[in-house]
Amino acid sequence: MPKPQPTSDRSGGGAAASEAPGTRRVAPSEFRYFDRTRRPWVQALRRASARLGFDPLLADEHAEAFAAAYFDADPLAEAFVDEIYLTAGPKAGRALLDRALEQGVAALSSPPQSLVALVQDFEGDPPWLDRDLVERGAKAFRRYGVDVFHFAGAITLASYLEPSVAKPLILSGGYHGASTRRRFLETAAFWIEVSEPGGLRLGAAGREAILRVRIMHVFARRRIEQDPGWRRAAWGVPISQADALLTLMGGSVAPGLAMHLLGYRTSADEIRALMHFWRYVGHLMGVRPRWYPATIADALRLGLLVALKGTGSAADDGSRLAQAYVEAFASASREDWRHRASTRLFLPWPIRRRYGLRSLPNPAPLLLQAPPRLLLEALRRRSARLDAWIDAHARRRRRRWLQRHLEGPARFETTEPTRL
């Protein structure tokens, strides 16, 4: 079938003035996947994979749905912000949201309709939800302990090559200097809360943190869209459903495969549970992509799409962000060493070279932890008591880690964006 062709963006900045109101573009102009699938090496890969009964490319309709999702945001949360935050002010809006979370919408006198719609959506279960699978995915994520935080920080740097990810961080000013370290630690606090046992149940701290971050993303999106440096036709909307979907994959399939390097034996069933867990986190966050991978194979196909689609045109911004990240963990402490060594281990060399990250420590000591962990993983699978002990230990360890490094509670303010 013919591939959708993006319209070029010649305006150089801001929302494209040539678009009629309500018009939905098929794909951002810097989304190059559909042309690049015709490259000789991609076709050679498809021929080689066909011998194994596998096509590495996504089905056309899935690729098209993903491309279109760059123009999708979060209408329910945006309506609440418009009605309350932008009329009564952020303080009044947050107070109202706090009361709704603590007491329920029914306890409020004449609650605004936008809040009622948002809370009803937030409290409702999607038809695909399997709560047991969510808890199994959360437990698999917890087992990685602090190691998964180092991994996630490293692989996020790869996404900074693309302006749809890097520009919101640059334009918000939230990721520079000392704030880089705090923002990372606050994101880790978010990961901890949502993955605690029952962390996504009604009233749980993780679930409440999700709604606060969801509102914060609306403010970030509005502010960035108004900046003349944002090119909507080229990149879509800031903090789009498409980029959010990639973040969910970065918390599920990516560590499920990569953490084998450190000795974690994540099974295929556990990776599927991780995918379900992060899909539900995303759902609560307002991330409702037009298509979500139903299998690990489709998630891997999405990975190839990401490798093919981008222009890498944000390399300069990406370098600034990546160097700020590394500098934020530049002390001689063992913990900061692990951050930098994990960056060298998990961030591909071509990207490190492009960012100018040439003096990161040798990650060999990290890999030496793999053999004893493999043994522990094998024993864990045979003993429910040991498995429970490992889970409790990982929970305590990451809490202690956060308390050592984050001064004060995590603040999910409405002034700066935070990634999922």
The answer to whether position 237 is within a domain reads yes
The answer to whether position 378 is within a domain reads no
The answer to whether position 198 is within a domain reads yes
Helices (H), 8-106: 33-36, 40-50, 60-68, 75-80, 86-88, 90-103
- CA end-to-end distance (rounded Å), the chain: 35
Q: How far is CA 213 from the centre of its chain?
A: 12
Q: Do residues 394 and 180 touch, judged by C-beta distance below 8 A?
A: no
The answer to whether position 81 is within a domain reads no
Backbone angles phi, psi at 179, to 5 degrees: -65, -25
Got the DSSP string for 119-140? HHHHHSPPTT--HHHHHHHHHH
The answer to whether position 188 is within a domain reads yes
Taking CA 129 as the corner, what is the angle to CA 393 and CA 136, rounded to the nearest 5 degrees? 20
The answer to whether position 61 is within a domain reads no
The stretch 11-30 carries a mean pLDDT of 49
CA distance 4 to 208: 39
116-151: pLDDT as tens digits: 999 999 999 999 999 999 999 999 999 999 999 999
Per the structure, the complete domain to which residue 198 belongs is given by: 130-367
Length of the chain: 420
pTM exceeding 0.85: yes
Taking CA 9 as the corner, what is the angle to CA 163 and CA 288, rounded to the nearest 5 degrees? 55
If DSSP codes are grouped into helix, strand and coil, which group holds residue 231?
strand
CA distance 419 to 249: 13
CB-based burial label for 336 (10 Å; 0-12, 13-18, 19+): middle
The closest of 104, 114, 120 to 79, measured between CA atoms, is 114
Dihedral sign of CA atoms 209, 212, 218, 221 in order: negative
Does residue 412 or residue 351 have the better pLDDT?
351
| pLDDT value at 17 more than 70 | no
DSSP conformation class of 207: H
CA distance 360 to 343: 8
CA distance 105 to 115: 8
Q: Do residues 389 and 142 touch, judged by C-beta distance below 8 A?
A: no
Please name the helix (run of DSSP H) or strand (run of DSSP E) that holds residue 301, with its range, or none: helix 296-309
DSSP conformation class of 84: I
345-401: pLDDT as tens digits: 999 999 999 999 988 999 999 999 999 999 999 999 999 999 999 999 999 999 999
Number of structural domains in the chain: 1
Q: What's the token pair of residue 332? A: 């001689």
| pLDDT value at 403 more than 50 | yes
Q: Do residues 398 and 147 touch, judged by C-beta distance below 8 A?
A: no
Please name the helix (run of DSSP H) or strand (run of DSSP E) that holds residue 213, with its range, or none: helix 205-226
The closest of 355, 358, 351, 347 to 323, measured between CA atoms, is 355
Which one-letter amino acid corresponds to residue 225? E
Q: In the structure, what pLDDT confidence band is assigned to residue 175 with cuts at 50, 70 and 90?
A: low
Q: Do residues 138 and 191 touch, judged by C-beta distance below 8 A?
A: no
The answer to whether position 26 is within a domain reads no
204-240: pLDDT as tens digits: 999 999 999 999 899 889 889 999 999 999 999 999 9
The answer to whether position 57 is within a domain reads no
CB-based burial label for 154 (10 Å; 0-12, 13-18, 19+): buried
pLDDT of res. 252: 97
DSSP conformation class of 286: T
If DSSP codes are grouped into helix, strand and coil, which group holds residue 14?
strand
